[in-house]
Amino acid sequence: MTTVPPDRAGPDDDELERLCAAARQAALTDARLTAERAALWVRDLARRQAERWNGERLEVFADAVASAGGDLDPDDPEWGGVGEDVRYGLSAYVLLNPFTPGDGPELDTAEAVALAAVAALAQAFPTALVNDYADDLPLLCRLMNAAVDTGRAARPAARIGTDW
């Protein structure tokens, strides 16, 4: 039988718990910063809207995205720290205009798809915590950053209304 010398032993249980807690906190911080970055992009989209309603809907959506990343609470087993009102605000409904059916914000197709992806990913942040998948937060952050990068790289819509 081979024994491991004490100086080569792995971390003890307390050290392992501290490492896991630090990784969890880093993931929560990354989710907050990623959501804030996505919200900034959405606010950029809101500012260029000719129709006031579209800009307002995008601003409300941006607030919900920021809250979805900033309000995360792994100790909330029911909501993950993100309340029902914020979750409701994360709907891809932001792509529609209830006053003019078939119309929506001035977005390029790539921007619209990126916005829908941000909606889904922001909803997934608290769901990951509720389902005890906090280890998936870094992947969700990478995907949200990719969606924002794709949306920023798209050309601004050249006309009022949907371009998709």
The DSSP string of 46-86 is HHT-SSHHHHHHHHHHHHHHHHHHHS--TT-TTTTT--HHH
Indicate whether 80 belongs to any domain.
yes
Q: How many CA atoms lie within 13 A of 109 on its CB side?
A: 1
pLDDT (tens place) for every residue of the chain, 164 residues total? 555 565 655 667 788 788 888 888 999 999 999 999 999 999 999 999 998 989 999 999 999 999 999 999 999 999 999 999 999 999 877 888 666 676 789 898 899 999 999 999 999 999 999 998 888 999 999 999 999 999 999 876 544 455 54
Other Cβ atoms within 10 Å of 8 Cβ, number: 7
| Residue 118 belongs to domain spanning | 29-153
Q: Are residues 27 and 137 in contact, defined by beta-carbon separation less than 8 angstroms? A: yes
135-145 pLDDT, tens digit per residue, is: 899 999 999 99
Residue 6 in any domain: the answer is: no
- Tell whether 9 is covered by a domain: no
Which of 164, 158, 156 lies closest to 45, judged by CA? 156
Counting Cα atoms < 13 Å in the Cβ hemisphere of 138 gives 6
Count the domains in the chain. 1
Q: What is the rounded radius of gyration, in angstroms, for the C-alpha atoms of the chain?
A: 20
Indicate whether 69 belongs to any domain.
yes
Closest to 129 in 3D by CA, of 80, 92, 78: 80
Residue 11 lies in a domain: no
Residue 14 maps to a domain: no
Which one-letter DSSP state was computed for residue 136? Answer: G
